[in-house]
Amino acid sequence: MAEKIIKSDDEWRRMLTQEQYEVARRKGTERAFTGKYWDLHETGVYLCVCCGNELFNSDTKYDSGCGWPSFYAPQAEERVETAVDRSYGMMRTEVMCSRCGAHLGHVFEDGPRPTGLRYCMNSASLNFVKKD
Ligand code: FE
């Protein structure tokens, strides 16, 4: 199991933009169709904005129409962790970075094959690195 990264709130705040901090460390959500990656179609990998953990590959990204970057699978199962989220009167499954606990978004069971899953992520929690 990879080493966990633990930092204080102040440390995270210093190294992230305000929006990144609000989403990744305070479980915020960027507004739909406003993030920098929902409509990105380039080939590459999506890293955790907090710790650099490689979370998603562009080859599992698809157009879900929901306004957030959507993937049908993480790069590897152990790169993410999930938890039940009962906030806002809903029952959702939260997705977090397994290495630093960053809030990434939620996973829903309305995705495409082969998994049937939609990892609905916040651009603010991700850092895209282009690969040719
Ligand atoms: Fe992380």
68 falls within a domain: yes
Number of domains in the chain: 1
90 falls within a domain: yes
Question: How many angstroms separate the alpha carbon of residue 1 from the centre of ligand 1?
Answer: 14
Q: Which among 125, 129, 131, 130 has a CA at the least distance from the CA of 35?
A: 125
* pTM of this structure: 0.96
16 falls within a domain: no
81 falls within a domain: yes
Supply the range of the domain harboring residue 89: 31-130
Q: What is the pLDDT of residue 65?
A: 97
Question: How many angstroms separate the alpha carbon of residue 31 from the centre of ligand 1?
Answer: 21
Q: What is the pLDDT of residue 24?
A: 98
79 falls within a domain: yes
Q: What is the pLDDT of residue 2?
A: 67
Active site residue 120: yes
Q: What is the pLDDT of residue 87?
A: 94
20 falls within a domain: no
Query: How far apart are alpha carbons 92 and 18 in whole angstroms?
Result: 25
Residue with tokens 């989220």: 85
pLDDT 10s digit of each residue in the chain, 132 long? 568 999 999 999 999 999 999 999 999 999 999 999 999 999 999 999 999 999 999 999 999 999 999 999 999 999 999 999 999 999 999 999 999 999 999 999 999 999 999 999 999 999 999 998
Question: How many angstroms separate the alpha carbon of residue 132 from the centre of ligand 1?
Answer: 24
Question: How many angstroms separate the alpha carbon of residue 49 from the centre of ligand 1?
Answer: 7
> What angle is formed at CA 125 by the lines to CA 29 and CA 12, rounded to 5 degrees?
105
Question: How many angstroms separate the alpha carbon of residue 110 from the centre of ligand 1?
Answer: 25
60 falls within a domain: yes
Handedness of CA 37, 88, 25, 99 (dihedral sign): negative
19 falls within a domain: no
Residue with tokens 């993480």: 74
The CATH number of the domain holding residue 73 is 2.170.150.20
Q: What is the pLDDT of residue 70?
A: 98
Examine residue 112 and say whether the peptide bond preceding it is cis (omega within 30 degrees of 0).
no
